[in-house]
């Protein structure tokens, strides 16, 4: 069932299909380089499809972000996440660039792998993912600038209106918080 990931609701499922233009380029406007299923469960991005590590596909993804302003912001965020985490990105299903991953297991026995942090360039906003969420970061969020919050989603408009050091601090704090709960590793 196709769904807008920006809703960040729990138990959302959708399937994305490969889309290629007439020159064989990957259409990155909501499509991936491979069929996949993604589920957002309790604020985690969970998938049974492994993320794509190919730098060419990641570059093609960033090249395909529209409009140009959003593409420039996506490249700025990619640089920020690489610098902050020290990790190379992976392209997760639904057009999410993830940095690091973690394996979790609930008391119920349910387990999976999710990205540790990352972002997704969407048409209306940039969506930043801090796992397991933003509940403990009110002081940093107050300095960030204009944003909206979901459980594990931070919706950002133009990066030029944000305090970028606060965003970097938020990424670091989110990873530190996550590492206290689950082992985090480079993707």
pLDDT of residue 87: 97
Position 47 scores a pLDDT of: 55
Residue 167's domain spans which residues? 5-185
Q: Tell me how many domains the chain contains.
A: 1
Q: Check: CB of residue 7 under 8 Å from CB of residue 96.
A: no
Q: CA torsion, points 45, 157, 144, 104, in degrees to nearest 10?
A: 0
In this prediction, residue 38 carries a pLDDT of: 41
pLDDT, averaged per 10 consecutive residues of the chain (187 residues), comes to 33 32 40 36 56 94 92 97 97 95 91 94 94 85 95 93 98 94 90
Report yes or no: 96 and 6 within 8 Å, Cβ to Cβ.
Answer: no
pTM tops 0.85: no
Residue 106 φ then ψ, to 5°: -85, 165
Beta-carbon count within 10 A of 48 CB: 11
């Amino acid at each position: 069932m196709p769904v807008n990931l920006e809703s960040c609701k729990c138990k959302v499922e959708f399937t994305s299909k490969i889309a290629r233009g007439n020159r064989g380029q990957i259409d990155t406007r909501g499509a991936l380089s491979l069929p996949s299923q993604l589920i957002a469960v309790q604020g985690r991005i969970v998938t049974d499809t492994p993320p794509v590590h190919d730098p060419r596909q990641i570059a093609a993804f960033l090249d395909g972000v529209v409009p140009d302003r959003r593409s420039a912001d996506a490249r700025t965020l990619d640089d920020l996440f690489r610098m902050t985490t020290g990790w190379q990105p992976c392209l997760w299903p639904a057009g999410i660039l993830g940095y690091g991953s973690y394996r979790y297991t609930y008391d119920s026995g349910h387990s999976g792998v999710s990205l540790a942090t990352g972002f997704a360039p969407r048409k209306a906003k940039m969506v930043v993912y801090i796992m397991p969420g933003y509940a403990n970061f009110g002081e940093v969020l107050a300095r960030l600038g204009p944003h909206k919050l979901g459980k594990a989603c931070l919706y950002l408009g133009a990066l030029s209106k944000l305090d970028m050091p606060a965003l970097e601090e938020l990424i670091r704090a989110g990873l530190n918080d996550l590492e206290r709960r689950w082992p985090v590793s480079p993707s």
